[in-house]
Amino acid sequence: MNQKHPFLVEVLTAIALIAAPFILPHFGFAPTTINRILIWGLFGLGFDILFGYTGLLSFGQSAFFGTGGMFAAYLLTELDFPYVMVAIIVGAIVAGLVGYLVGLVALRRTGIYFAMITVAISEVFFFVEFNPLSRYTGGENGLPGVPTPSVFLGFTTLTFHSDRAMYAFLAFWYFVGLVAALRIVHSPVGAILSAIRDNPQRAAALGHNIHAYKHAAFVAAAIYAGFAGGLLGVMQGFMPPDAFMFDTSGQLVMQTAIGGAGSLFGPLIGATVWLFLSDFFQNTLHLGATWKLVLGIVFVLLVVFLRRGIVGGIADLYRMAKGAKKSAEPAGNPAAASVITPAATEPMLSPARPTHRAPGPILRATGLSKRYGGLMANSDIDFTINHGEIRGIIGPNGAGKSTFFKMLTCEVPPSSGKIMFEDRDITGMSVTDVCQLGLTKSYQINQLFDRLTVRQNLTIAALGEIRGKFRLDLFRNILKIPGLAEQVERTLALVNLMHRVDTPVSELAYGEKRRLEIGLALATSPSLLLLDEPLAGMSPSERIETVALLKSIARGRTMIIIDHDIDSLFELVETVTVLQEGRVLVHGTPKEIKFNPRVQEAYLGGVHGEMA
Ligand SMILES: Nc1ncnc2c1ncn2[C@@H]1O[C@H](COP(=O)(O)OP(=O)(O)OP(=O)(O)O)[C@@H](O)[C@H]1O
């Protein structure tokens, strides 16, 4: 999710595409190999959106490649449909529709189970193509006689019979496909797909309908596959049945692994290496049947030594060179940057969702219980918090505090009881819907998007509020969304991470990660914010800094805070609810709670004993 506009990338790609047919033959590339690289590169653009950007490893892309290709070829050969490009586009749409239906089933599972379903889908499509549908697909013979396209320009007609002319045709469509893919990955949808790849649970908790976005990526990949399949038939004058084979899906995955996932160019580079080596081993070295073995060994070596593929390796080298240059420059004053700026404590900077400030409860839970097997984590909890109130929740380890929060934010359904938020029954709603209503939390254990920068993390959170839980604005420039940059900047200032804005999360210090964790929740502009142990694991100096931040955040908000650091918590909150063994033990002001003998006893019996 590079925030820069992709125009420069597009210009450089156009130049490279024009130069390639003049340069690559000098390295031993046959003209048809160069054309095939473009088809695999185009096929891979969709796959990279699905795998590299969304994190969904599919072995079923051959199903859509074959479907799109066969549909277009059938129209052109059996039905004598006269318009080649229209047939290819119709084939791609059919592949997209099939992708939509397959996605309904495959996306019900994640991880290895999703991958296994796609393997099965690939095999099913191969079987269907060879057996029940062989009348239409030609079975093992495929469909011969696919015509080449021609374009009537008014004064002349362009045809694409020669390899060079076919290259121009394919390069044009690769470029169109790349421009579309670049737009998608630079759109808000692309940003959310990257968030889903890194941490789907948190993306959902920030108000995004991750299932719908994954489905959209799946359909987009199927359309790319179908379009590339159609071009394959046209390029070869023949639609081969092996387009449907599992090998096709496997080769796509391997080429993407070689080239590098998540850059859009990885599959093209991977195809270049793969197709060159397979031609070289077979035609130049005449390795016979062993060429696959040698190619396999080369694949293993490339993936072992270039974990992020060729494009990832080049990017790492570039970053290292940039880092070396930076470290040679005189350093700034990092300490100064970590001091809380006046802006960070300025109440006007607080992002806040418009909410009616009527006195009275914003949230009311009644009879809330949660049973885990034989264990009652929460029992019959009645709890009310008013608009503008800052509430603390304390209790010994295992008292049921986090479970209570999880029920309020609808991460887990209660076993019994009811939750009313802003006069609305939210019991049993999804965590996404509840976040959209303005109720969210920061987590006890950081739930960040590790491969994204601080700014990108906060952008994901702000997008949930600005765009709603699902919107298919695939070609909208994320930089042009009104109010987004301002909301991110406000939150950055609030959690004091202005100086780390372009730093990847994986490079942040622990205290900074904790502040970003709070920032993610804040950037959704919640009307009720829950903070689950915001001070957990912090050093004393980080605690002082974070308590100051929390004080500034607290102004004008409604918040519930869980923490074990009772002294810090009591500085922040107006009222405190004490939980013990899943029940409400007592409720009162910090002063009342501090000297309450029942609370003293609960803590002396607990692990921490902070109250003692
Ligand atoms: N998913 C789960 N499955 C089974 N038991 C669970 C689950 N989550 C929590 N528990 C149990 O429920 C009880 C309450 O846990 P919870 O995490 O809510 O307590 P807590 O007060 O937040 O504790 P801590 O202060 O240590 O974070 C504990 O006994 C815990 O082991």
CATH number at residue 589: 3.40.50.300
Residue appearing with tokens 């290292």: 320
Average of pLDDT values for 550-568? 91
The pairing of beta strand 157-159 with beta strand 375-386: unpaired
Q: Is 263 exposed, middle or buried (0-12, 13-18, 19+ CB in 10 A)?
A: buried
Of ligand 1's listed atoms, the one at least distance from the Cα of 370 is 12
Q: Out of 372, 531, 578, give the residue to mutate to test ligand 1, the one with the largest number of ligand atoms within 8 Å of its CB.
A: 372
Residues 418, 487, single domain; the answer is no
Identify whether residues 484 and 549 lie together within a single domain. Answer: no
Q: Which residues contact 355 (CB under 8 A, 6 or more apart)?
A: 362, 387, 422, 438, 527
Q: Quick: pLDDT tens for 375-433.
A: 999 999 999 999 999 999 999 999 999 999 999 999 999 999 999 999 999 999 999 99
Could you tell me if 115 and 197 lie in one domain?
A: yes
Give the domain-ending residue among 214, 244, 274: 244
121 and 236 together in one domain: yes
* Residues 537, 516 within the same domain: no
264 in a structural domain: no
- Total-model pTM: 0.90
Residue 329 banded pLDDT, cuts 50, 70, 90: low
Question: For residue 346, is pLDDT > 60?
Answer: no
- More confidently predicted of 331 and 5: 5
Kind plus residue range of the DSSP H or E element containing 221: helix 210-236
Using pLDDT thresholds of 50, 70 and 90, give the confidence band for residue 333. Answer: very low
In the chain, the amino acid numbered 183 is R
Please indicate, yes or no, if residue 295 is contained in any of the structural domains: no
In a domain, residue 117? The reply is yes
- The answer to whether 268 touches 40, Cβ cutoff 8 Å, is yes
ipTM over 0.95: yes
Q: Which domain holds residue 63?
A: 7-16+42-244
Burial class from Cβ neighbours inside 10 Å (0-12, 13-18, 19+) for residue 330 reads: exposed
Distance from the alpha carbon of residue 440 to the mean position of ligand 1, in angstroms: 19
Considering the domain architecture, whether residues 80 and 168 belong to the same structural domain is answered as: yes
Which is higher by pLDDT, 229 or 298? 229
**What digits encode the pLDDT tens for the residues 492-512?**
999 999 999 999 999 999 999
pLDDT of 341 reads: 36
Residue 349 inside a domain? The answer is no
What torsion do the CA atoms of 229, 231, 236, 241 make, to the nearest 10 degrees?
Answer: 10
Residue 501 lies in a domain: yes
Distance from the alpha carbon of residue 372 to the mean position of ligand 1, in angstroms? 9
Q: Tell me, yes or no, whether 369 and 479 share the same domain.
A: no
> Given 244, 272, 292, which residue is the final one in a domain?
244
- Evaluate: CB of 156 within 6 angstroms of ligand 1: no
Q: By the 8 A CB rule, do 563 and 569 touch?
A: yes
Which has the higher per-residue pLDDT, 437 or 135? Answer: 437
| Protein residue closest via CA to atom 25 of ligand 1 | 397
DSSP for 285-348, please give it.
S--GGGHHHHHHHHHHHHHHH-TTHHHHHHHHHHHHHHHHHHHHSPP--HHHHHSPPGGGG-GG
Both structure tokens of 160: 């694409």
Number of other residues whose CB lies within 10 A of the CB of residue 599: 22
Query: Nearest Cα to 444, choosing from 572, 538, 555, 531?
Result: 531
pLDDT of residue 334: 37
Judge if 520 and 532 occupy the same domain. Answer: no
Spatial distance between the Cα atoms of 97 and 122, rounded to a whole number of angstroms: 16
269 part of a folded domain: no
The answer to whether the CB of 167 falls within 8 A of the CB of 38 is yes
For ligand 1, what atom is nearest to the CA of residue 373? 4
Residue 495 and residue 399 in one domain: no
Question: Mean pLDDT over residues 55-71, rounded?
Answer: 95
Tell whether 93 and 178 lie within a shared domain.
yes
Q: Ligand 1: does its nearest atom lie under 6 Å from the Cβ of 607?
A: no
For the chain, how many structural domains are there in total? 3
Name the domain boundary from 222, 244, 266: 244
8 Å CB contact between 307 and 258: no
